[in-house]
Amino acid sequence: MGSKEPLLGKSPEELKEIVINNHLPVFTAKQITEWIYKKRAQSIDEMTNISLKGRETLKESYTIGTTNPIWSAESTDGTKKYLFETAHGNIETVYIPEDDRATLCVSCQVGCKMNCLFCMTGKQGWSGNLTPAEILNQILSIPDSTKLTNIVFMGMGEPFDNLLTILKVCKTVTSDYGLGWSPHRITVSTVGVIPGMIQFIKETDCHLAISLHNPIPEERAEIMPMEKKYSITDVITELKKYDWEHQRRVSFEYIVFEGINDTQRHATALLKLLKGLHCRINLIRFHKIPELSYCSPSESKMIAFRDYLSNNGIICTIRRSRGEDIMAACGLLSSNHKHDKIQ
């Protein structure tokens, strides 16, 4: 007998089809929806307003689809990293508490096809896309789930290489039937996969983040192969077609490498590239990974780079490093290791 299908991640329409096919009353679909997303049931047995016979029928082919993390680690700064099992392998999720915010960095793929030079996930190759249930499980199954204020798709994988799933998850999180969040509590990051980016902009009101890392196309291509297919100049041209001054936001992630992309030439190129686009830049310190000789510039150089951009009209911040001691910082997520059990 094959594995049971998860109910988590399904829309009310899909759940209605399931109950009809299983000869259950149509209103059962609404009950299941409420149990999954509002009451956060962990098992079909908890759905006590559904008849015992109905629950037994559902259990024959379906399961809720939530699973606990198989491992965790907590940083000295309070950041927590979790490991989840999925059909294609293990993925990592990072919980980042800060003052009145609690952000969850979720993964959308096992591995990644983008092969960015500085990213540990890219170095392990791609094993498969996560399902809506596997992404939502990261949100619902961490111990601090109810404390979350924000979600960022900045974990393992390229979101727009798994576009339809990302759109479905965003709808579930923001819909009244789902978690009921504002779309402005969600940020999706991409290296610049233009077709997916355009569809995402048109179909959601969630925030967008672009992994930029070098404003000079030829140099960017050396560290981000996708530049050869979707140039950053073309990405910016598309972004300028939309309104980023009201409601939603577009930001740029910029990992700073000593002597590689932190010069005056790069700062000037950034100003030229982003001229006329209402946005912000997040500067990120580079954290060493094996087999790569790059390093992060000094704090004073980071500040000087930030101040130059800020003084010339671009909102620019230096992102605080979190979870370094548990390898949770940007570019370090990789499931290519084994853990014994959750701590």
Active site residue 330: yes
**CA–CA dist 7, 64 (Å, integer):** 5
Question: Catalytic: 295?
Answer: no
Q: Which of 108, 116, 279, 330 is catalytic?
A: 330
Number of residues that this document lists for the chain:
343
CA distance 255 to 319: 10
Place of tokens 């170095």: 123
Instruction: Indicate which residue of 56, 60, 92, 227 is catalytic.
Output: 92
Spatial separation of the C-alpha atoms in residues 267 and 312, rounded to whole Å: 10
Take residue 35 and report the two structure tokens written for it: 């149990």
The stretches of the chain forming alpha helices (DSSP H) are 12-21, 28-33, 52-61, 120-123, 132-140, 163-174, 194-203, 217-223, 232-239, 264-274, 299-311
Backbone dihedral angles phi then psi of residue 22, each to the nearest 5 degrees: -100, 15
Q: How many CB atoms lie within 10 A of CB 44?
A: 21
Q: Which residue is associated with the tokens 């789930």?
A: 145
Residue 175 identity (one-letter amino acid): S
**Which residue has 């605080």 as its token pair?**
320
CB 8 within 8 A of CB 135: no
- Provide the annotated active-site residues: 92, 330
